[in-house]
Structures are given as C-alpha cells and as structure tokens.
C-alpha cells in the first residue's frame, strides 16, 4: 500500500453536538439555545441566516418553545428504524437547512421499530446483531459525514441516589448515567455534554473544541453556540467525506432476511384479510406477494410501512 504524506491543515468543520440528560433536564431547550447562537454567528460571518430544523420524536414537546425561537419542525413517528433517521438527515441537507436538531436520537435505538426491537424481530440472539448493527452504523455515518451542523439529544439512563442537605433533610436526586443509545454512541460527536436534571447545568463528557473542557458546569445558551461556530469556521475550506456505498454490495441474503421480516409482520397483521396491509404491499409489488420484491431499498421501505401499520393497529 502506498502512503501519501501531506501537510496537515485546519479545515472548516460541520460540528456535531450531543446533549444527554435524564427526563426533565432541558435537552430540547438547551439544543434550541445552542442552535440559535450558532445561527447568530453564521449570520454575522456570512450575512445569511441559516434555517434551523428540529426533528421531533417527543410528542408535542418540540412545539413548546415555538414562541421563543425561530425554527421549523418535522414530526418523526414510529417505526423508528435507522433508515428513517438517515433519510431525515439527508432531507434536511437537501432542503437547505444549516442546523439540524434530532430530538431525540434515543428513539432510533430503543423506540418502537428501533434497533433493539429490530434485533428481537431478527431472533433476539447475539448473532441477530449482525443484521442490525450495519443499519445502525449507517445512522452514525449519516450524522458524521453530512455537510450540516447537527445537535442530537439523547435520553439519559436514569439512576437515583439519596442525598442529604446541610440540615440533614433527605431528598432523592435523579442522575443521568450514560445515554439511552448504543454504548459509545455519544463519543461519535465533536462535543458531548451531560445536563443535570435538577440544575440544568451541563458537564463535558467529550470536547474537541476545547470550549468547555476547563469549565466545571455550564448553563448552555446562545453565547456557547456562537463560540462553537467561531471554532468550527476557523479553518480553510471543507473537504467532503466520501465513503464507499456498501448498498451496492447488498446480497440476495440481505433481501431475503428483510422479506422474512415482512412476511412475519404480515402474518401478525392478519395477512390478506387486512385491507390496509394489502394496499400497502401492492404499492411495492402489484401481486401483493412480498417475496416478489426485487430491490433491497423497496424491501426496506415496505417493511417500514407495514411496521407503521402494526404500530397503529397494535
């Protein structure tokens, strides 16, 4: 193998920020404050204000702050399979958004139709992860490689501890221990911050920007969003990330496994007796027979659709 040596130089960066917190910690609000500060700084540097898009998985929570911040919103409903989130990231880029908030990315892992459920549907064994992990990795790659600034929130793994104040009064404190996502997911980001549920102050878990590393606790606000963008845009130019699309190397076995999931889900929905199911199947294959689907992309989209039917009819 030939190795090419070149002088390292700092390029501009599309930052990826992760915010973790137990429920009630203020993940959505903190994300919107950071995103607004990032937009402020981009407008100051370029004269053009970028649009902010929020992907909402948390019922109506994404709408709570519409009177405080300027952003667009897309509701992301079940099934929460990885392909839906990859498609959403690509959609935000194609629609010209400059900043994307995924609130929350935990659904891709533990939500209805997410990776944990997909693993169970694939047999629930350790070997079943061989089918699910590549799909999850595509989501990680979509975040890392996309030419857009992304803030992804994650639910914290709730843990409680009993503490006493100076007067000896006992109280229960909710802690956030890691994220409800695959282990190590939080380290795929430029900086990762853990927000305390009670104080709403953030502590650094990882920080490539060096903005937060010397601070013990930080109340995230627009100023920090501005600082992040000052750091991100301090380089020269940007080189797009290019990966080999392994979708072209998908084998017949991959398609067969997805078809098995489709057939199993159809059985659970009543098969030909379910009119909505049959209408959906015939949109992909006129015969209504899932085994006749030829494209792996169509197979995945079909599975997503009928899993959505299952989620509604369950």
Over residues 98-151, the pLDDT tens digits come to: 999 999 899 999 999 999 999 999 999 988 999 999 999 999 999 999 999 999
* Across 25-45, average pLDDT: 96
Tokens 């607004």 -> residue = 36
Contact criterion met (CB below 8 Å) for 139 and 86: yes
Q: What's the 3-state SS for 122-160? A: CCCCHHHHHHHHHHHHHHHHHHHHCCCEEEEEEEEEEEE
194-223 CB burial, b ≥16 within 10 A, e <16? bbbbeebbbebbbbebebbeeeeebebebe
Please state the domain extents for the chain.
16-232, 250-313
Residue 73 burial (10 A CB sphere; 0-12, 13-18, 19+):
middle
More confident residue, 60 or 97: 97
Structure-block tokens of residue 114: 């997410």
Rounded-to-integer distance, Cα 181 and Cα 167, Å: 38
Over residues 7-23, the pLDDT tens digits come to: 988 899 999 999 999 88
The 8-class DSSP code of residue 211 comes to: S
CATH superfamily of 16-232: P-loop containing nucleotide triphosphate hydrolases (3.40.50.300)
More confident residue, 216 or 226: 226
- Quote the pTM value: 0.75
Q: What is the pLDDT of residue 32?
A: 98
């Amino acid at each position: 193998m030939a190795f090419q040596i070149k002088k390292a130089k700092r390029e501009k960066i599309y930052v990826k920020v992760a915010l973790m917190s137990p429920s009630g910690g203020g993940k959505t609000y903190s994300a919107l404050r950071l995103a607004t500060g990032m937009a402020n700084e981009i407008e100051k540097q370029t004269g053009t204000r970028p649009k902010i898009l929020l992907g909402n998985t948390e019922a109506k929570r994404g709408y709570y702050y519409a009177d405080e911040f300027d952003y667009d919103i897309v509701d992301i409903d079940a099934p929460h399979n990885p392909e839906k989130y990859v498609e959403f990231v690509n959609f935000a880029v194609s629609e010209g958004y400059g900043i994307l908030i995924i609130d929350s990315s935990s659904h891709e892992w533990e939500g209805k139709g997410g990776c944990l459920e997909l693993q169970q549907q694939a047999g629930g064994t350790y070997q079943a992860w061989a089918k699910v992990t590549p799909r999850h990795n595509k989501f990680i790659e979509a975040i890392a490689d996309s030419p857009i600034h992304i803030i992804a929130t994650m639910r914290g793994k709730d843990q409680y501890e009993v503490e006493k104040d100076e007067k000896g009064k006992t109280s229960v404190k909710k802690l956030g221990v890691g994220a409800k996502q695959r282990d190590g997911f939080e380290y795929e980001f430029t900086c990762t911050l853990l927000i305390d549920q009670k104080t709403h102050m953030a502590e650094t878990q990882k920080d490539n920007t060096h903005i937060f590393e010397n601070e013990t606790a930080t109340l995230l606000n627009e100023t920090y969003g501005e600082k992040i963008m000052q750091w991100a845009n301090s380089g020269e130019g940007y080189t797009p990330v290019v990966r080999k699309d392994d979708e072209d190397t998908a084998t017949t076995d991959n398609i067969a496994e997805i078809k098995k999931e489709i057939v199993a889900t159809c059985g659970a929905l009543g098969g030909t007796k379910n009119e909505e199911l049959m209408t959906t199947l015939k949109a992909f294959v006129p015969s209504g027979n899932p085994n006749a689907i030829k494209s792996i992309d169509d197979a995945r989209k079909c599975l997503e659709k009928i899993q959505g039917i299952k989620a509604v009819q369950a």
